[in-house]
A and B are shown apart, each in its own frame.
Chain A
Amino acid sequence: MAIRTFIEAIRDTLASEMRRDPTTILLGEDVGKKGGVFLATDGLWAEFGDDRVIDTPLTESMIVGASIGAAMNGLRPIAEIQFADFIFPAFNQILSEAARMRYRSNNGFGVPMTIRAPYGGGVHGALYHSQSVEAFFTHIPGLKVVVPSTPYDARGLLRSSIRDDDPVLFFEHKKMYRSVRGDVPDTDYTVPLGRAAITRPGSHVTVVAYGLMAHYALEAADVVAEEGISVEVVDLRTLRPLDKDTLLTSVKKTGKCLVVYEDNRFGGYGAEICAIVADEAFDFLDGPVSRVAGPDVPAVPYNHVLEDWFMVNPTKIADGIRTLAAY
Chain B
Amino acid sequence: MSGVPRSDLAASVGLEDADLLGMYRTIAAARAVDERMWILNRAGRIPFVISGQGHEGAQVAIAWPLERKKDWIAPFYRSIGTCLTFGMTAQDILMAQYAKAADPSSGGRQMPGHYGNAENNLVSLSSPVATQILHAVGIALAAKIRKTGQVAMCSMGEGSSNQGDVHEALNFAGIHKLPFIFVVENNGYAISVPSERELALPDVAMRASGYGIPGVIVDGSDVLACYSAAKEAVDRARRGEGSTLIEAKVIRLTAHSSDDQQTKYRSAEELAGMAAKDALPRFRAQLRDAGVLDEATEARIAAEIKAEVDAATDHCEAEPDPDPATAMRWVFAEDWPSESPPPWGFGPGGGSHDGPGGAR
Residues of A within 8 A of B (CB): 25, 51-52, 56-57, 59, 61-62, 64-75, 77, 89, 92-93, 96-97, 100-110, 141-142, 144, 165-166, 194, 241-244
Contact = CB atoms under 8 A, between A and B. Distances in A.
Interface stretch (B145-153, B224-232, B310-318, B351-359): B145-153
Given A65-B135, A93-B134, A106-B106, A57 B168 contact: yes
Given A69-B141, A142-B331, 6 more contacts: A57-B168, A59-B172, A70-B145, A105-B118, A106-B103, A108-B119
A109 B72 CA distance: 13
A184 B323 CA distance: 47
Contacts of A51: 145
A244 B338 contact: yes
A97 B134 CA distance: 10
A73 B73 CA distance: 12
B146 A65 contact: no
Contacts of B336: 194, 241
B72 A66 contact: no
B342 interface: no
Interface of B: 72, 74, 103-107, 109-110, 114, 116-119, 123-124, 126-128, 131, 133-143, 145-146, 148, 150, 152, 164-165, 168-169, 171-172, 175, 329-333, 336, 338-339
Nearest to A105: B124
Contacts of B140: 69
Contacts of B104: 108
B96 to A, nearest CB: 11
Contacts of A66: 134-135, 137-138, 141, 169, 172
Given A68-B138, A102-B331, A141-B339, A57 B131 contact: no
A314 to B, nearest CB: 30
A227 B119 CA distance: 65
A50 to B, nearest CB: 10
13 contacts: A59-B171, A61-B165, A62-B134, A66-B138, A69-B74, A69-B136, A72-B123, A72-B135, A73-B72, A75-B146, A97-B131, A105-B118, A194-B338
B325 to A, nearest CB: 14
B124 A108 contact: yes
A25 B176 CA distance: 15
Nearest to A238: B338
A69 B329 contact: no
Contacts of B126: 96-97, 100, 104
A115 to B, nearest CB: 14
A62 B165 contact: yes
Nearest to B131: A97
A265 to B, nearest CB: 24
Given A70-B142, A72-B139, A62 B169 contact: yes
Which of A70, A93, A142, A144 has its CB near the most chain B CB atoms (within 10 A)?
A70
Contacts, number: 153
Given A62-B165, A141-B331, A104 B139 contact: no
A104 B110 contact: yes
A106 B330 contact: yes
B118 A108 contact: yes
A325 to B, nearest CB: 29
A69 B136 CA distance: 6
B338 to A, nearest CB: 5
A260 to B, nearest CB: 21
B168 A108 contact: no
Nearest to B109: A104
Contacts of A243: 338
Nearest to A167: B332
Contacts of B107: 106
Which 7 A-B pairs have CB atoms at the shortest separation, nearest pair first? A69-B138, A65-B134, A106-B107, A66-B138, A62-B168, A69-B135, A108-B118
Contact of B105 (A68, A105, A241): A105
A103 B137 contact: no
Contact of A93 (B116, B131, B332, B339): B131
Contact of B332 (A67, A89, A142): A142
A104 B133 CA distance: 18
A70 B139 contact: yes
B135 A74 contact: no
A184 B168 CA distance: 39
B107 to A, nearest CB: 3
Contacts of A92: 128, 131
B114 to A, nearest CB: 7
A70 B152 CA distance: 11
Contact of B171 (A57, A93, A104): A57
A165 B169 CA distance: 24
A73 B142 contact: yes
Given A61-B165, A69-B136, A105 B116 contact: yes
A68 B134 contact: yes
Given A25-B145, A109-B124, A65 B131 contact: yes
Which of B131, B134, B175 has its CB near the most chain A CB atoms (within 10 A)?
B134
A178 to B, nearest CB: 32
A57 B175 contact: yes
A65 B338 contact: no
Contacts of A242: 338
Contacts of B114: 104
